[in-house]
Structure 1
Amino acid sequence: MSFNPTEWQPEPLRPEERRASGLPASGWLPDPGDPDLERYWDGTRWTGRVRNLYTRIEHGVSPSAYTTPARTWTPAAEPAGVHRRARRRRWRTSVLLLVVVALLGVLWAGRAADAGLLPSWANLGRTAAEALTPTTAPVAPTVDYPVYGSTELVRYLETAMIAQQEAIDVTFWAEELGGPAIEDALREAVTQNPYAFVKGWVFWETTVGVELHPVYTYAVDEADRRRSLTATAVQLGLSASRATAASSDKEKVTRIHDYLVSRGEYDYEAYDAINRGEDNAVVDRSQEAYGLLVEGTAVCNGYAQAFLAMAEAAGLEAVQVTGSDLAGATGGDHAWNKVLVDGEWLLVDVTWDDPSTNPRTSHDYLMLADGDPRLITRITDSDWVVDAHLGDYSS
């Protein structure tokens, strides 16, 4: 039998008795009967007030009290002299979680932690919905652009976001995997697809399911224009670089690398805007393969996206990797690639080989194994692929 703290209460204590008893002071404490809730302790007994442990939203409070606009993630300013390492996370909008429990007439709202922890999906009011829970994964929409995800869920999210669906049904995945796994997949999807323009996301949970509402960077027409021009630029780049005519994967990688080095210029305007904490069209462009391939300029995230798009189109297996590099006196966020060559995952960093950020054109960061001394200051984070596959790309 589950414990209900409202069914048993100690007799109220007089003030002098409470001081001698060692009971905690009044405040929110873990609920004895539900690990996902906190219950208010008035100093002598449990009250009927409860709130979500993660969102701190109290049940039964007027929904208007929690109407909160989506917030924009502002990158920390990097010190001068690290231009080649500027990277703004593509999911820079903080996650705003809005949980609607229609059966109880309660609105919960909150922001998930940056580390990817989402509140456990609400159990209240789900009785009616349990009969509607899907038993198979939803069918992904058909799109004209490639998807690269390491799992079925990641690929589903990629296609839905390329199609710019306003509401993406993730009910099946919420029931099967839970909220944190969905956000883990989202982080991979926005990192690994150059054709998905997504700034952040909002989750809605009701008694009939769970929906993901992406925050898209562009309106549909502008996003389609950028996707089309990016795909065209990829094919033109493969032709100009003669990568598709290469006799080996190693030669393909080298030709793509050299083409991007010659094609692009580092976007110092965007770098300065990022350091000022701005969120504008220049910064958006700098993060995209479109920026480098179409407009000829980007920061490291755009370089890595462009290499990913060209490598995959050339028949190579590649991923974008994110993290930081502490080379020199300062360090900062950075993005680069790994590509599979002769059965080994090797690092490619086009940004650091570009003469606009390097005194000379070089192959210093072309196809390096993980243990190479040049990478001793480099740290890889866990945001670019789902946790279950982080170990798949080691050399």
Structure 2
Amino acid sequence: MTFYPDGRDDDASSRTPGPRLPAPGWLPDPSETRLERYWDGYRWTPRTRDRATGIERAVYSPGVASSLAWTAPEPRRRNTGRTVLIVLAIVIVALNAYRWAGNLGYLPEWGSFAGGWGSPYVIEPPTQADLASVETPVSGYPTFGTTELVRRIEEGLLTQERRIDVTTWAREVGQDGVFDAYTEAYVQNPYAFGGGGTYLDDGHRVYLEPEYVYSDEEAEHRRTVTYAAVQAGLSLSGAADASSEREKVTAIHDYIVGLAEYDYEAYGLIQAGDVSSARVEQSQEAYGIFASRTAVCNGYAQAFLAMADAAGLEAVQVTGTASSGMTVGGHAWNRVLVDGQWWVVDTTWDDAEGASGLVQDYLMLSPDDPALASRTVDSDWVVDSEMSRFS
């Protein structure tokens, strides 16, 4: 159940050097650094082993079940030709193999993507000491849901429950209503890592069985890093000391725009149809912004949502399409409540390539602003019954 909303049409292939492919052998797994995955010299294989013990894990191929469908507009295909796409995919795999080989610590290494292809406005990230000083929340990670059912599913996702009992609500809203709530729970929580699921009704109880993207350990690692970076970012951005809602929103917006760079490599993979790769998965997450300082629009929106909530603001992630502008196709952005009114914030479009400095063109626009005329909002980001709350 992964949302791939970004459709940026940039020639990322011209921005990346061409290293030699690694020789066949065991390399750090791109999606979980506690494992090693076998590289056959051209591509990753399904074979993995424990990095500490060297014990190889059995390959598991799950059967086909009734999966939750998450349909998003397909990103617009690049027009640079099949040869460019093939070369781009090879280059990206090679870069990722080397990058993950040197990134085996618990806390992220910052700065490798800063000051690259986008705006020269750059924010210095938190230090390792800043991140290490933040403790995991005693009361658990935040939930964002608009209904009791959504919040119950979020709680299950945050602890990676294998089977979430939704009987109480399923008898009222049915299967479609549970799917609708699951979609909101995943879209609106930067600390949840769902990836589809199965609806089970045995006649007595009704369960949702999510398919998780990461192991329990890796998911908790990503939650911990994201939470610590959010807390540190509130202080560094000035949002923690801001005296008004408007000042908080501005501080968070400017911090994310200065911290992040658009992930052209992930975009290239999406355009090539490789939407299930580890790089693409991370590009959809707030963790991508906070751990590697790069993501596509969904990651930007998730990062803003996490910081806005921590700052005491009411915010939501919005998904839809854009027919013209910085990106074309599926897109994600935010709405935030300031002084009793919902405003649009788009940190992705304000992190435009070639900008001469800090850009605030999409900072707190009215939803009917002419600058947003090319956008169409879909109904996948919140349960249908609560959509009117954010107008």
TM-score by length of 2: 0.66
How far the C-alpha of 1:283 sits from its partner, in A, is: 0.7
Name the CA distance, whole Å, in 1 between partners of 2:293 and 2:213.
20
Contact 1:82 1:330 in 2 (8 A): no
How far the C-alpha of 1:110 sits from its partner, in A, is: 4.6
| Structure 2 SS opposite 1:353 | coil
Q: CA 1:218–1:335 in structure 2 vs 1: closer, same or farther (change >3 Å)?
A: same
Could you tell me which amino acid in structure 1 is paired with residue 162 of structure 2?
A: E
Could you tell me which amino acid in structure 2 is paired with residue 251 of structure 1?
A: E
Q: Segments of 4+ in structure 1 off by > 2 A?
A: 72-83, 108-116, 328-331, 355-361
Q: CA 1:115–1:225 in structure 2 vs 1: closer, same or farther (change >3 Å)?
A: closer
Contact 1:265 1:297 in 2 (8 A): yes
Aligned residue number for residue 323 of structure 2:
326
How far the C-alpha of 1:371 sits from its partner, in A, is: 1.5
Aligned residue number for residue 159 of structure 2:
163
Q: Which runs of 5+ in 2 are unaligned?
A: 13-63, 73-137
Could you tell me which amino acid in structure 2 is paired with residue 256 of structure 1?
A: I
How far the C-alpha of 1:213 sits from its partner, in A, is: 0.7
Aligned residue number for residue 384 of structure 1:
381
1:345-360 aligned within 5 A: 345-356=342-353, 358=355, 360=357
Q: CA 1:328–1:355 in structure 2 vs 1: closer, same or farther (change >3 Å)?
A: closer
| Structure 2 SS opposite 1:350 | coil
Q: CA 1:143–1:248 in structure 2 vs 1: closer, same or farther (change >3 Å)?
A: closer
How far the C-alpha of 1:207 sits from its partner, in A, is: 2.9
Contact 2:162 2:209 in 1 (8 A): yes
1:1-395 aligned within 5 A: 78=7, 80-81=9-10, 110=66, 144-278=140-274, 279-327=276-324, 331-356=328-353, 358=355, 360-394=357-391
Name the CA distance, whole Å, in 2 between partners of 1:357 and 1:197.
33
Could you tell me which amino acid in structure 1 is paired with residue 263 of structure 2?
A: D
How many residues in Structure 1 have an aligned counterpart in Structure 2?
Answer: 274
Q: CA 1:73–1:355 in structure 2 vs 1: closer, same or farther (change >3 Å)?
A: closer
How far the C-alpha of 1:244 sits from its partner, in A, is: 1.1
Q: CA 1:316–1:110 in structure 2 vs 1: closer, same or farther (change >3 Å)?
A: closer
Could you tell me which amino acid in structure 2 is paired with residue 147 of structure 1?
A: T
Could you tell me which amino acid in structure 1 is paired with residue 9 of structure 2?
A: A
How far the C-alpha of 1:257 sits from its partner, in A, is: 0.4
TM-score by length of 1: 0.65
Could you tell me which amino acid in structure 2 is paired with residue 382 of structure 1?
A: S
Higher relative contact order (CA 8 A, sep 6+): 2
How far the C-alpha of 1:228 sits from its partner, in A, is: 0.5
Name the CA distance, whole Å, in 2 between partners of 1:298 and 1:191.
16
Name the CA distance, whole Å, in 1 between partners of 2:352 and 2:8.
21
| Structure 1 SS opposite 2:211 | strand
| Structure 2 SS opposite 1:256 | helix
Name the CA distance, whole Å, in 2 between partners of 1:111 and 1:309.
28
How far the C-alpha of 1:75 sits from its partner, in A, is: 6.2
Name the CA distance, whole Å, in 1 between partners of 2:205 and 2:304.
38
Could you tell me which amino acid in structure 1 is paired with residue 292 of structure 2?
A: E
| Structure 2 SS opposite 1:153 | helix
Name the CA distance, whole Å, in 1 between partners of 2:212 and 2:259.
27
Contact 2:326 2:352 in 1 (8 A): no
Identity value in percent? 51
Residues 237-273 of structure 1: CA deviation (Å, up to 9, x unaligned): 0010110101110000000000001100111110111
| Structure 2 SS opposite 1:178 | helix
Residues 96-152 of structure 1: CA deviation (Å, up to 9, x unaligned): xxxxxxxxxxxx965666579xxxxxxxxxxxxxxxxxxxxxxxxx96100010000
Over alpha carbons, which structure has the higher Rg?
1
How far the C-alpha of 1:356 sits from its partner, in A, is: 3.7
Name the CA distance, whole Å, in 1 between partners of 2:277 and 2:7.
18
How far the C-alpha of 1:331 sits from its partner, in A, is: 2.2
How far the C-alpha of 1:203 sits from its partner, in A, is: 1.4
Name the CA distance, whole Å, in 2 between partners of 1:82 and 1:339.
32
Q: CA 1:248–1:225 in structure 2 vs 1: closer, same or farther (change >3 Å)?
A: same
Contact 2:200 2:209 in 1 (8 A): yes
